[in-house]
Structure 1
């Protein structure tokens, strides 16, 4: 790369996940692998508790500290592309919404993390409602998982590809954003299925399932890969296709640890087939 060529700058506003499999750690690794300059503003600290069945421990970052991070980042760089990951509290959502509204963005990719298992149910519901009211309308691209698609679409169940298509349509109509509704391993069949919908094009993206258990970091990495590809100039559909292929290789080359779940490896696509 010549000295006059700079990589696209991609920001993630997300939480830290201490084992490295998800959150800001996954986002930054994805950005690096895909050739963008990654920056993060941390919203919360999440650490799994090995003494409590590996459930989440959740600590929010003070809203003023989040605002300070974003002030520094937005002053330092002329940003056009941002990924929104876990926000975690209504106060954080309010702070991030104000920062987003302070400038023009070409791409706001929302991975709508609706439930954090470390929160009380009442607090989680307040956070979900704030996210839908304040962040979703700003998003240009949204990547809900199976549960989040049901919640955002107002559906009681998503059990088929047709259900997933209906959810994608409803979420697009409600938000105006491009939607990649993720079925993943949760739908019956041999393929992991996601549905892309931008208001005109409806495309079902398929890849053979790699195992039948969700892998930590898959959702974060998919949204981060979409973010990176958009920053490099891809169309939303191109970004979705590339990101799915990237995640599939990351799952195939996943990392095992002493946790009861495996983690996606963002270097998997570059490493070749898993042994």
Structure 2
């Protein structure tokens, strides 16, 4: 059981490649990587970004996929249109489930995706995506609409599905309410996952970790629905038991799922 993450490095260890590998490992999946960028980063923010060349990203992806039996792939921070084009071209040659976490803005507010890259993401990568996992701000950028309620979420999901995505997980963490609701849409229906909202500043890397957990579960052979629900348990437990590292937005706890034996209540409502 092997997965590949194509993403940026987080020197603070809470997000990006580092979060992905930790998540893969905790779920019993061997992690391989293709690095898109290095960041000088901690819990207080991103202090610098150094992106790799498109040619070197292609070399990394080709090296892994030509030799290793990868069963699922995820993308995180892709940064530029040129890098997105490389990933899209490489993925067209594969019949491997692809999870796209459309990373755009860091917790501290720094942009992690150039403006020109948004169009490439929408036209080149999303049409070949199995599961896309946007939060509300990312969904707003992808669709060009403002999202304030569940009706808006449904409309935004339809727009993202129309781009070619097979499943879209509309994450509700940025909305208000006693419960956090993620809604999973596909062309034939939807289901809702609900968990108690956790008040904490330690949410750095939640998107990376959640999408990595989905990817690991797919690599293990779980169905799309099972992979997403188990990933929700993984990230909920990670948020519930913070490590309190650093002076800003601390990382989630990647150890929590295994320590809790995966026991976490996620209320699922089928359509």
Q: TM-score normalized by structure 1? A: 0.87
Alignment partner for residue 138 of structure 1, among 115, 128, 142? 128
Q: Is the 8 A contact 1:80 1:104 kept in 2?
A: no
Give yes or no for the alignment of 1:97 onto 2:85.
Answer: no
Partner of 2:115: 125
How many residues align structurally? 259
Partner of 2:40: 47
Partner of 1:204: 192
Question: For each residue in 1:135-188, what CA deviation from the matched residue of structure 2 results, as whole angstroms up to 9, or x when unmatched?
Answer: 1111111000111111223312x222332222222211222320101111x212
Question: For each residue in 1:211-261, what CA deviation from the matched residue of structure 2 results, as whole angstroms up to 9, or x when unmatched?
Answer: 154600110011011111112122211111111111000011222223311
Alignment partner for residue 2 of structure 2, among 2, 6, 9? 9
Distance 1:263 1:90, change over 3 A: same
Give yes or no for the alignment of 1:22 onto 2:15.
Answer: yes
Give yes or no for the alignment of 1:66 onto 2:57.
Answer: yes
Output the CA distance in 2 between the equivalents of 1:151 and 1:233: 32
**Structure 1, 136-145 or 226-235: larger mean CA deviation:** 226-235
Unaligned segments of structure 2, at least 5 residues: 264-271
- Cα-Cα RMSD: 2.0
Partner of 1:180: 169
Output the CA distance in 2 between the equivalents of 1:192 and 1:57: 32
**Structure 1, 200-209 or 242-251: larger mean CA deviation:** 200-209
Q: Is the 8 A contact 1:111 1:143 kept in 2?
A: yes
Output the CA distance in 1 between the equivalents of 2:200 and 2:110: 25
Output the CA distance in 2 between the equivalents of 1:55 and 1:69: 24
Q: TM-score normalized by structure 2? A: 0.89
Partner of 2:269: none
Output the CA distance in 1 between the equivalents of 2:85 and 2:159: 25
Partner of 1:38: 31
Output the CA distance in 1 between the equivalents of 2:203 and 2:31: 23
Give yes or no for the alignment of 1:147 onto 2:137.
Answer: yes
Question: For each residue in 1:80-127, what CA deviation from the matched residue of structure 2 results, as whole angstroms up to 9, or x when unmatched?
Answer: 31001111112211222222123322x11000113465559xx72111
Q: Is the 8 A contact 2:16 2:208 kept in 1?
A: yes
Output the CA distance in 2 between the equivalents of 1:49 and 1:39: 23
Q: Is the 8 A contact 2:128 2:165 kept in 1?
A: no
Unaligned segments of structure 1, at least 5 residues: 1-7
The one of the two structures with greater contact order (alpha-carbon pairs below 8 A, sep at least 6) is 2
- For the residue of structure 2 that corresponds to 1:257, the secondary structure is coil
- For the residue of structure 2 that corresponds to 1:175, the secondary structure is coil
Output the CA distance in 1 between the equivalents of 2:170 and 2:77: 17
